[in-house]
Chain A
Amino acid sequence: MEFSELIKTATVESVLLSCAGLPPVRGTLCITSHHLLLSSCPGGDGQPGTMELWLLIRNVDAVEKRVQNLGWYQPPRTNDSPRDTRLAGSSGTITLRCKDLKVLQLEIPGMEECLNIASSIEALSSVDSVMMMYPFFYRPQDLRLEEGWHLFPLEQYFQQIAAQTSQWRLSDLNRDFTTCPTYPADVIVPAAVSDDTLRRAARFRQGGRFPVLSYYHPRNGTVLLRSSQPLTGPNRKRCPEDEVLLGMVLDEGERGFIIDTRSAQAAKQARMTGGGTEPKSSYPQWKRLHRPLERGRPLQESFIKLVEACNDASLSMDRWLSRLESCRWLSHVKAALSTACLAAQCLDREEASVLVHGAEGTDTTLLVTALAQVILDPGCRTVVGFQGLLEREWIEAGHPFHLRCARSAYSHARLKQEAPLFLLFLDCVWQLSRQFPFSLEFGESLLLTLFDNAYASDYGTFLCNNEKERCLCKVKENTHSLWAWLNQPEEKKKYLNPLYSHNPLVIWPSVEPQSIQLWQGLFFRWIRPSQYLDEARAEMQRLVEGNEAPAKESAGSRLSRSLSDPAAWTENER
């Protein structure tokens, strides 16, 4: 396939671009294989125009076209002045609704051009082949291709654990992706369990996702594991190897928790289709807890409804609140945070190891394990640590980004496998950052950038559904890594939280409804005026930067000192 076949009209003059909150500009519209460009007309004195829009076509979620002034289309007798209509000519308006939730309008003179442009954008934005996507063509000057792809090898993460315990080992049994097509080549497993046992256990788990280590809690040596559901089926099949594997995680007399992200009812029903849960009799040391989390279509619909409500300017205050309620997005945020907190609580307070799984183990499972780590592990709250977490718990762990993020909230296309689990994760992290404004090294801007790039990107980081596909497509060889770009000093600076000071403690958020807020920075990014909030942020930055580095340290360390020392507390209360 050639891109040129899809482009029916490449350039149109005198197109009017309008976008909420900005004055409209007129310029020349140009379509390339991957971009929509609009450069404003020079003042007529031969100056080159300035680029006003540079939109990745992959970012377009929905194209809506409206053609006006169809004078010739109507019977002349119903029109009072057919001449005027003809003179005005026909034109069309294309509304582009983007995956990052921004909405653009293009007013295009000439009906045919309008329809051509619209169908070109539609065709180009629905190219589904990974290898045809822009990251395979993007070659920025200042980055090298291989940069950023091997920043977070699992080996390195494993070494941290190995320094504290010899109970775990790094296994490469999945190097050819045959044991589990959605796992990476390397996984961390109990040292006492052989690869052979793992292979048999994998056959007892949906998609071969046998229990592997997700996080080691250094404070007490408990671990967080994840897997997919066991294939117990209607006949209550058992698998001795799977039982051995889970048994090896716990010492004699120790107890662990299995957090199932489905309701007890749904888990039971899954037996009919070959799935199920770990029966108590076969896993006597494990206690099962059910925490139903929404995923799949209901979650996508919740996202769509919320975005619809946010864009509905006609809502009164009353209707706004009920729309917010009925889309249930905040309920999902609350449920996800609570479940992650429960997992963290089991590890840190109950000193028990935890296995998390739902059905496939690629969606809500990863949401819970990743979020629990942000809560527990201060290392995950730095810019680099957070990237490592995403790499380990979302990308390599096989969250199907290509399927889940194919469409965003505006698309009219029939829903297939889209679901905003990653967005839900980012929202939960934002809630944490709001409740603990000093404890995350990065600010809202990083979360927004990650959201944008998960849905449409210049970089290959979020391409494909799993490591196997990435190998086949040679993503790491032929695209740039998002991390390489983000970690350039100039770029990284934009994402830092000026108030950050290292907080070694677990951050337990409140999950009461009063504490959960709608993430305005994302859902209203293109709607609300942010000038005053940006000014406040700049002012904050100014205050903190004005403070000399040593002084800042003393303020930060004093903050953490005051909490570990109750005596200091009462003294300060005087």
Chain B
Amino acid sequence: MEHIRMPKVENVRLLDRVSSRKAALGTLYLTATHVIFVENASETRKETWVLHSQISSIEKQATTATGCPLLIRCKNFQVIQLIIPQERDCHDVYISLIRLARPVRYEELYCFSFNPKLDKEEREQGWKLVDLNEEYNRMGIPNDYWQISDVNRDYGVCDSYPTEVYVPKSATAHIIVGSSKFRSRRRFPALSYYCKDNNASICRSSQPLSGFSARCLEDEQMLQAIRKANPGSDFLYVVDTRPKLNAMANRAAGKGYENEDNYSNIKFQFIGIENIHVMRNSLQKMLEVCELKSPSMSDFLWGLENSGWLKHIKAIMDAGIFIAKVLIEKDWISFGHKFNHRYGNLDGDPKEISPVIDQFIECVWQLMEQFPCAFEFNERFLIHIQHHIYSCQFGNFLCNSQKERRELKIQERTYSLWAHLWKNRADYLNPLYRSNHSQTQGTLYPQMAPCNFLYKFWSGMYNRFEKGLHPRQSVTDYLMAVKEETQQLEEELEVLGERLANLQKMQLNDNKIQSKQQDRSKQLGLSASTNSLANTPQEYSSDLKSFPSRSPSQGDEDSALILTQDNLKSSDPDLSANSDQESGVEDLSCRSPSGGGCLPSEDSGKDSDEAVCLAV
């Protein structure tokens, strides 16, 4: 609260990113958790809510005759451009937001004040939705070859691993500890995925501290143990996700890659996925392309290519052919992906921020585009997860490791996103998914090399707040409605069939059916109406000034074309407003976060270069 210099500014204009003429006049509010813009237009009073934690940058631009422009870029790719009449107000808002968007303590994050009015039991239930042990059980682990090891029970071996780690049975504690000492940040090879059909497995580790010549007997034993855990195979692949050059350069820093001479029966493979710095710049460039004002087709394609983003996506997909069925919880959270550093939720080193999870989410979307029937969830699910990774509304994506999360008692103090998503699961289902469909059986084989064209720009994500750019009718929602309706009709048919058997007078039934059908329409309206058939023309003639309008002041050749706008603003709801409203207005009453300076340890391990070992 003490950071808010200016809680309210009136007569602020919110500019539309696609068309500069559609500016809305309203009032800007700063609260402890949100920036809120409320339009003045009396019949709509449309609200735009932005969580402080979503803000990635704030830019104060040069004052013009109309006021002082303030540009807020969000991590969920929303860009908000405000014009504040007074330069001084603008400055105060700017200074306040700079502080609010960069909390220094975890406790300032929204999830610690967010209260969805669930009781303790429900909260605990939410955290139990995704259970890693169950996930491994599903894969058939533990079994004859793999077991849970408690070697990391107090995070004694590796502080960025969870307490329970799955390792080959033949790997003794001595081997594990020895191996961990030879690995960057002590991330020894541990099981990620096991395929029970052929005993093949995917393990994960960090780079070895090999330098130019160092070797470690235990580490070599560890890899042999992994190889032997698949009795059907003679060798092991070590996939290094870096370009080989980067790996070689790391040797100078005492790190590097496994020396082939020291590891028998192992094949090495480098996959040129660039490091986080390259990725961050690439995303930055692509977002700049998305922000262009009425770009030509060439501007757009040229910029897209220049950003290299799709190239990186394809590189990751190429690597991912080895690792298909990834589940977010397992692969990204428990194994110490550095959430806090990479997502910049707290004030820290900007060089540590990287869009790796964005890339993972996009890769899943690219797969969904190629295999429309294979995923149970839909695009909205991915978009909402991405939103909440940065929203800090739920505790799931906080901190850098399980250890930190336990220390902060995240599970006791915050709510789980999975419970929230589960509650609304009907919104996230893919109507084309059927558990007995051929695309849901077994592994997906995505198209590789020559099919570059399959990788498309994901405007649903990167331009998701520009509603006008998207298809105006949602096939997913329509099919969901149809599916639900069919199901209800079938149920009804069943009920009626029973009645028919019992009752002799059929006339009685007729009235009931009719009234029921009306009810059904109401229910279905909910999901299907999120897409509006009505829309307005955009500025097809934006460059043309001399297009006369038929307004009373006509005859004036230079009057700009004013578009009549018949549909209400409220008919394009944006996601942020939507999801944030769920939090309820009462929660906005500012609650100063309880003290306790539990600052995160500044870990400067700078490598995202985890190697993946595949035992095939």
Are A and B co-members of a single complex? Answer: yes
By a beta-carbon cutoff of 8 Å, the part of chain A in contact with chain B is: 255, 287, 289, 310, 313-318, 320-322, 324-325, 328, 330-331, 333-334, 338-339, 341-342, 344-345, 348-352, 434-439, 499, 503, 505-508, 510-518, 520, 524, 528-529, 532-533, 535-536, 539-540, 543-544, 546-548, 550-552, 554-555, 558-560, 562-564, 566, 568-570, 572-573
Kindly list 17 other residue pairs between chains A and B, CB separation below 8 angstroms, not including A321-B305, A543-B483. Answer: A318-B308, A330-B301, A345-B541, A352-B550, A437-B478, A512-B469, A529-B447, A532-B373, A535-B372, A539-B437, A543-B486, A548-B489, A558-B521, A558-B525, A559-B533, A563-B532, A573-B578
CB-CB contacts below 8 Å: B275-297 with A: 290, 294-297
For A439, the closest partner residue in chain B by CB is: B473
Residues of A within 8 A of B468 (CB): 510, 512
B571 within 8 A of partner (CB): yes
Residues of B within 8 A of A513 (CB): 295-297, 299-301
Residues of A within 8 A of B578 (CB): 573
Question: How far apart are B85's CB and chain A's nearest CB, in angstroms?
Answer: 30
* CB-based contact B482/A562 at 8 Å: no
CB contact between B452 and one of A320, A333, A352, A558 (< 8 Å): that residue: A320
> What 4 A-B pairs are tightest by C-beta distance, nearest first?
A513-B300, A321-B305, A536-B372, A313-B450
B517 within 8 A of partner (CB): yes
B591 within 8 A of partner (CB): no
* CB-based contact B459/A436 at 8 Å: no
Of B305, B459, B528, most buried by chain A (CB within 10 Å of CB) is: B305
17 A-B pairs (CB sep. < 8 Å): A255-B548, A315-B450, A316-B452, A325-B298, A325-B302, A328-B297, A435-B471, A436-B472, A436-B473, A438-B533, A513-B297, A513-B299, A515-B470, A528-B451, A539-B434, A552-B482, A558-B524
- Bound together, the chains give a CA A554 to CA B549 distance in angstroms of 40
* CB-based contact A350/B550 at 8 Å: yes
B311 within 8 A of partner (CB): yes
Residues of A within 8 A of B526 (CB): 572
* CB-based contact B438/A554 at 8 Å: no
Given A349-B563, A436-B472, A535-B438: A508 and B305 interface contact (C-beta under 8 Å): no
* CB-based contact A559/B301 at 8 Å: no
* CB-based contact B525/A562 at 8 Å: yes
Residues of A within 8 A of B549 (CB): 350
- Bound together, the chains give a CA A324 to CA B303 distance in angstroms of 12
* CB-based contact A536/B432 at 8 Å: yes
- Bound together, the chains give a CA A512 to CA B18 distance in angstroms of 9
Residues of A within 8 A of B327 (CB): none
- Bound together, the chains give a CA A570 to CA B472 distance in angstroms of 18
* CB-based contact B528/A562 at 8 Å: yes
Residues of A within 8 A of B456 (CB): 517
* CB-based contact A536/B541 at 8 Å: no
Residues of A within 8 A of B471 (CB): 434-437
- Bound together, the chains give a CA A543 to CA B290 distance in angstroms of 36
CB-CB contacts below 8 Å: B415-455 with A: 431-432, 434, 437-439, 447, 449-455
Number of interface residues of B (CB under 8 A): 90
Of A506, A524, A563, most buried by chain B (CB within 10 Å of CB) is: A563
Contact with A along B462-476 (1 / 0, CB 8 A): 010010111111010
- Bound together, the chains give a CA A345 to CA B544 distance in angstroms of 14
- Bound together, the chains give a CA A330 to CA B296 distance in angstroms of 10
Residues of B within 8 A of A333 (CB): 297
CB contact between A516 and one of B297, B478, B537 (< 8 Å): that residue: B297
- Bound together, the chains give a CA A388 to CA B494 distance in angstroms of 45
- Bound together, the chains give a CA A315 to CA B310 distance in angstroms of 14
- Bound together, the chains give a CA A572 to CA B573 distance in angstroms of 11
Of B295, B310, B432, most buried by chain A (CB within 10 Å of CB) is: B432
Given A331-B296, A507-B472: A317 and B537 interface contact (C-beta under 8 Å): no
Residues of B within 8 A of A517 (CB): 456
B511 within 8 A of partner (CB): no
- Bound together, the chains give a CA A485 to CA B149 distance in angstroms of 70
Residues of B within 8 A of A506 (CB): 537
Given A350-B549, A532-B439: A511 and B538 interface contact (C-beta under 8 Å): yes
B535 within 8 A of partner (CB): yes
- Bound together, the chains give a CA A267 to CA B557 distance in angstroms of 21
- Bound together, the chains give a CA A562 to CA B517 distance in angstroms of 17
Residues of B within 8 A of A438 (CB): 473, 475, 478, 533
- Bound together, the chains give a CA A471 to CA B438 distance in angstroms of 53
* CB-based contact A505/B533 at 8 Å: yes
Residues of B within 8 A of A563 (CB): 529, 532-534, 567, 571
For B434, the closest partner residue in chain A by CB is: A539
CB contact between A535 and one of B439, B478, B517, B521 (< 8 Å): that residue: B439
Contact with A along B548-573 (1 / 0, CB 8 A): 11100000010001011001101101
Residues of A within 8 A of B451 (CB): 528
* CB-based contact A345/B537 at 8 Å: yes
CB contact between B311 and one of A316, A505, A514, A550 (< 8 Å): that residue: A316
* CB-based contact B314/A317 at 8 Å: yes
- Bound together, the chains give a CA A54 to CA B557 distance in angstroms of 60
Residues of A within 8 A of B370 (CB): 532
CB contact between A543 and one of B314, B482, B524, B547 (< 8 Å): that residue: B482
Contact with A along B12-34 (1 / 0, CB 8 A): 00000010000000000000000
For A551, the closest partner residue in chain B by CB is: B485
Given A515-B469, A535-B373: A349 and B453 interface contact (C-beta under 8 Å): no
Of A506, A551, A560, most buried by chain B (CB within 10 Å of CB) is: A551
B457 within 8 A of partner (CB): yes
For B563, the closest partner residue in chain A by CB is: A349
* CB-based contact A317/B483 at 8 Å: no
* CB-based contact A568/B529 at 8 Å: yes
- Bound together, the chains give a CA A348 to CA B452 distance in angstroms of 41
Residues of B within 8 A of A564 (CB): 534
Question: How far apart are A10's CB and chain B's nearest CB, in angstroms?
Answer: 37
Residues of A within 8 A of B517 (CB): 550, 554
Residues of A within 8 A of B475 (CB): 437-438, 499, 540
Question: How far apart are A258's CB and chain B's nearest CB, in angstroms?
Answer: 12
B520 within 8 A of partner (CB): yes
* CB-based contact A566/B305 at 8 Å: no
Of A348, A352, A543, most buried by chain B (CB within 10 Å of CB) is: A543
- Bound together, the chains give a CA A568 to CA B570 distance in angstroms of 11
Contact with A along B102-126 (1 / 0, CB 8 A): 0000000000000000000000000
Given A344-B537, A551-B485: A510 and B469 interface contact (C-beta under 8 Å): yes
Question: How far apart are B17's CB and chain A's nearest CB, in angstroms?
Answer: 11
- Bound together, the chains give a CA A495 to CA B456 distance in angstroms of 26
* CB-based contact A572/B301 at 8 Å: no
* CB-based contact A322/B305 at 8 Å: yes
